[in-house]
A and B are shown apart, each in its own frame.
Chain A
Amino acid sequence: MMGAIEGPLPADTRAPPAAATPVAAPRLQAPLHPLFTRGGWIAFCAAAFVLLVALPVANLTLPEAHPLHVPDHLVTLLGKIMCYAIVALAMDLIWGYAGILSLGHGLFFALGGYAMGMYLMRSIGREGVYHSDLPDFMVFLDWKAYPWYWSFTDHFWYAALLVVLVPGVLAFVFGFFAFRSRIKGVYFSIITQALTYAFMLLFFRNDTGFGGNNGFTDFKRILGFPIATPEARLALFAITAAFLLSFLLLARYLVTSRLGRVLTAIRDAESRVMFCGYNPVHYKLFVWTLSAVLCGIAGALYVPQVGIINPGEMSPANSIEIAIWAAVGGRGTLIGPIAGAFIVNGAKSWFTQAFPEFWLFVLGLMFVLVTLFLPQGVVGLFRRRARSGR
């Protein structure tokens, strides 16, 4: 340092500003950001055909002995997993792209489910055990009327509004304070975990007015149709599939837009994003709220298919499992977390029948192995294969 500052100045201290002349550059092409490649579109349409046409037809029309017959329980299982896949997709938007790990996404899922559940409970009418206008659990608590927050829930449109608004508003308010205070990383994850736990405790209480630890069940009909028929099951299945596919398109649109590139930039170098003039709070809040709304819709589709919602859905373990689906499938790929939801839940469904006591070990092992050997998840494995095979 000393020598440098004391030494004689270089002879040419005023180099001519050669770089000032703007260089005439050949024209750049705007990079294309297609929603899907051609192969991707073909796969997407094939998936849509299978889910929306082939599978329902195979379930309804083919006789049980037929090799291509799709049994009812498989329809229910796949419908349920597609709801999980929507949640995994929502998780990928916030975790895979914006780098914010939420361990409370089960809460938004459950809130959407409860909002739909309120409508389904009121659709039971007087067919409950006590033949009352009120749901059985309220009769049991000796309540005489619906509490105020049950108002209008006998209208489907209102319940549908709640499905979107409750998780959305909660996420927005929570996110606003968390992101404005620049809470990040593991601190954010822990707070979301605490949030879902707190809500679970709240919903466990009978006097909260949501059926306590039993939650809502014993639904009879939806929009006037009996809920337990094969037709209703297939309709819900197809609607869920349609939602999953359109949310995939929506998510692709987001991540291929400039906004999507800002999100990944926030994940990789947030301070640079700020000094570029973007306010990361807005971007995080947007994708966080959207993610919560997607979870709420998934929950609303889930409840009529499985026929029950209870506070167990808000347990911290459930939310952690969502993160595992995304990690197993491959973060930041959209299709990966959807695949992850199918792989993990498919395995869960098989294991809990065959070796119920080992499932949690298998789940843990799966997570460890993927973290150690497949940082890009299953999709990353395929991509690596495709690249080395070329």
Chain B
Amino acid sequence: MTATVVHGIDAGSSGAFTEAGMRVASHDVDTTHGPILYLDDVSVSFDGFKALNKLCLTIDDGELRCIIGPNGAGKTTMMDVITGKTRPDAGTVFFGQAIDLTQMTEPEIAHAGIGRKFQKPTVFEQHSAFENLELAMKADKRARTTLSARLGSADLDRIAETLALIQLRDQVDRPAGLLSHGQKQWLEIGMLLMQEPRLLLLDEPVAGMTDEETLRTAELCQSLAGRHSVVVVEHDMDFIARIARTVTVLHEGSVLAEGPMDAVQADPRVIEVYLGR
């Protein structure tokens, strides 16, 4: 990988970056055996602190999975590992059957079809809502093609559709920095959708939202499942209860319980973790 970056800048000669997975179309993800994401025995430690401890997790294609857990349970670290921000010390992370995420950079993973929403809404504040979606849109994202990229009518339709979905139609030309907190959250989700990912990772999507916005986000998440696989990390239990099909509880870097919401809620170990000893 490192040696190939040189060519990528003029994007001229090489398919090198391509080989490394940059342009792997999302439909290439092999999910013939069911799961779209495997984490097996994944461990990450920071200065001796085990953020993830032999974590095993499988997400099925098209599934909507909620992940809960007390602070420090490893939820965000898990997302960092999946998206290439953090390299695991041990374990395997596979996207579909064949894509080894531990060997890829963040942009390559994004191209392979994994979109991520951060805990703190992260949008391009100086750009308009429209431009945010334009930049996120699935496209050849190498520098040379980006220089001459123009929006076609199909692109405009997609942007318009997404703007309607995230209810930012009226804010189209507004700098994203001026949007409300909830609107930024939606814009970020909209940006993920523009990437046409197979797997969406949503880190606290309703943090700071009004009840009404939360309700709409719940609807949005449910509508996404099926077409995409969705992993939601949240603290808001009402929200989780509203959308949850399968819930995974993380604790101290590994899975404590997994199952339907009411079964998990009744699990004495889960109650103990949340109550504290």
Contacts and interface: CB of A to CB of B under 8 A. Distances in A.
A272 B241 contact: no
A269 B148 contact: no
A25 B163 contact: yes
Nearest to B261: A9
A22 interface: yes
Contacts of A281: 5, 8
Given A1-B235, A262-B146, A276 B110 contact: yes
B219 interface: yes
- Number of chain A interface residues as a range: 35 or more
Given A15-B242, A261-B134, A276-B135, A282 B5 contact: yes
B178 interface: no
Nearest to A21: B223
Nearest to A281: B5
Nearest to A267: B126
Interface in A295-314: none
A180 B146 contact: no
Contacts of A351: none
Interface in A240-290: 254, 257-259, 261-262, 264-265, 268-269, 271-279, 281-283, 285-286, 289
B9 A285 contact: yes
Contacts of A25: 157, 160-161, 163-164, 169
A277 B83 CA distance: 11
Contact of A261 (B127, B138, B195, B262): B127
A354 interface: no
A278 B134 CA distance: 13
Interface stretch (B27-35, B42-50, B89-97, B114-122): B114-122
Contacts of B6: 176
Contacts of A142: none
Given A17-B222, A272-B123, A262 B156 contact: no
Contact of A31 (B130, B147, B216, B236): B130
A10 interface: yes
A4 B238 contact: yes
Given A30-B156, A176-B5, A19 B223 contact: yes
B127 A265 contact: yes
B165 A22 contact: yes
Contacts of B241: 9-10, 13
A4 B235 CA distance: 10
A103 B156 CA distance: 41
Contact of B110 (A2, A23, A29, A275): A275
A102 to B, nearest CB: 18
Contacts of B215: 15
B135 A17 contact: no
B233 interface: no
Contacts of A265: 124, 127, 135
B124 A268 contact: yes
Contacts of A28: 130, 156-157, 159-160, 163, 172
A26 interface: yes
A18 interface: yes
Given A2-B274, A28-B156, A279 B223 contact: no
A390 interface: no
B191 interface: yes
Given A258-B147, A276-B195, A279-B17, A271 B9 contact: no
A27 interface: yes
A20 interface: yes
A179 B135 CA distance: 21
Contacts of A30: 150-151, 156
A279 B105 CA distance: 9
Contacts of B208: none
Contact of B143 (A12, A26, A259, A271): A259
A6 B271 contact: yes
B15 to A, nearest CB: 15
Contact of B156 (A23, A27, A264, A283): A27
Interface string A156-192: 0000000000000000100010001000000000000
B60 interface: no
Contacts of B13: none
Nearest to B2: A180
Contacts of A386: none
B244 interface: yes
Interface in B92-144: 105-107, 110-111, 115-116, 118, 122-128, 130-131, 134-136, 138, 141-143
A277 B274 contact: no
A387 B159 CA distance: 30
Contacts of A273: 135
B225 to A, nearest CB: 8
Nearest to A277: B110
Contacts of A10: 238, 241-242
Contacts of A19: 165, 216, 219-220, 222-223
A129 interface: no
Q: Which of A2, A13, A28, A286 has the most CB atoms of chain B within a 10 A radius of its CB?
A: A28
A261 B150 CA distance: 13
Given A19-B219, A271-B106, A279-B5, 10 more contacts: A22-B161, A28-B163, A29-B156, A180-B5, A258-B135, A258-B149, A271-B122, A272-B122, A273-B135, A282-B143
Interface of A: 1-2, 4-7, 9-10, 12-20, 22-23, 25-31, 172, 176, 180, 254, 257-259, 261-262, 264-265, 268-269, 271-279, 281-283, 285-286, 289
The 7 closest A-B pairs by CB, nearest first: A4-B237, A20-B223, A277-B110, A25-B160, A23-B164, A17-B223, A274-B106
